A and B are shown apart, each in its own frame.
Chain A
């Protein structure tokens, strides 16, 4: 049985923690501004997509900074920011258990059904 050891550095920090800055070893990061994840909607009708992160004291500053850092060339028309500590992520080691079952349910896909050729508009 293969064994994995994971280091949870990014995402999934847990409630009490304060983002990537927390795992610092130097102990000199008490004054660092919180880390925020930035999501941009590139145009009306599309989803917001994660683009990166930045530091800011609060949500307003995070949005203003995100505007300068991530949308200098019309990359977006809407910005979401969320403090990194609030992101919870699935564990890559659970990937098999979480995502594999989909493979053996071929009947979920339309190509599974063998129907006569003369049947149209379906």
Chain B
């Protein structure tokens, strides 16, 4: 009987019929989505930290206002996604707890430090660029609430990437020291950004099922290649270099070849041994714990107000 339902479910997916919260779905589909959407939400929330670091040190008011708006967007993206995950039957508090306990992962890129202002440029251009590459196909993902959240995210994300490129462009046309700063940021963020697409296809066990369920539309390696191809062209406008001696246009494949990725580093960072893993999680936990009295006070206030209102009516 279960098999029968799974078959019907797959037929709906194949016909590009979106799945909505109350529809029947295989338990594994539900679990896969909860994992993916909540990880995605956590990444938006943790992703505020490396940039938040530079709000008070932005070089001028224009940059500060932009960075504030960008970080606020990321909070919003986290909330859209948490709300989509909640339709699958997990509570917000459960997701927070999974993040705080280390059970749930978030994008490993946010475990790298932001050492200079140019990092704001490199994050916008490369990290948000890689995120967009991942996210655009998710606007057509098979689960309705996730797809709708991603449409909103993608609309906002393109400003993030453009403001990042503008920061690098300004630096690249500045003094020698500014050019060096921009190049240094690109050198540090390039490889971690390439790793954002996740493990190679043959080492990504969930990919086949996720593609079959149309949660994913492209494999990790396909998206990674697209990203490299685009960046290899865009860097020319900055007149800077991508830190990969093997990066070369390949006439036969019609793509850029690129050098080997340090997967050991990738797995180390995922395992919690990146430069900032502890710092990020501690900051997040502190914010949650420090906010506890506010949440309680707001609940108490709402309760009292409702009681007063009920008394007045009586």
Contact = CB atoms under 8 A, between A and B. Distances in A.
A52 B306 contact: no
Chain B CB count within 10 A is highest, among A24, A28, A57, A89, for A57
Report the interface size class on chain B. Answer: 35 or more
B289 interface: no
A44 interface: no
A24 B295 contact: no
A53 interface: yes
Contact of B83 (A5, A28, A53, A68): A53
A61 B83 CA distance: 17
B184 interface: no
Interface stretch (B18-26, B39-47, B256-264): B18-26
Interface in A44-82: 51-55, 57-58, 61, 68-69, 72-73
B139 interface: no
Interface residues of A, number: 38
Given A12-B22, A73-B156, A24 B86 contact: no
B279 interface: no
B22 A9 contact: yes
A57 B298 contact: yes
B221 interface: no
Contacts of B80: 52, 69
B21 A11 contact: yes
B177 interface: no
B22 A69 contact: no
A28 B101 CA distance: 14
A31 B94 CA distance: 12
Nearest to A23: B89
B268 interface: no
Given A24-B93, A29-B93, A61 B22 contact: no
B73 to A, nearest CB: 7
Contacts of B8: 2
B298 A72 contact: no
3 tightest CB-CB pairs across the interface, nearest first?
A57-B302, A10-B21, A9-B89
Interface of B: 1, 4-5, 8, 20-24, 69, 72-73, 76, 79-80, 83-84, 86-94, 97, 145, 148-149, 152, 155-156, 295-296, 298-299, 301-302, 305-306
27 contacts: A2-B4, A3-B1, A3-B5, A4-B5, A5-B5, A6-B22, A10-B89, A20-B89, A21-B93, A24-B91, A24-B93, A28-B97, A31-B296, A32-B92, A33-B299, A52-B83, A52-B148, A52-B149, A53-B83, A53-B86, A57-B299, A58-B302, A61-B298, A72-B72, A72-B156, A73-B156, A92-B23
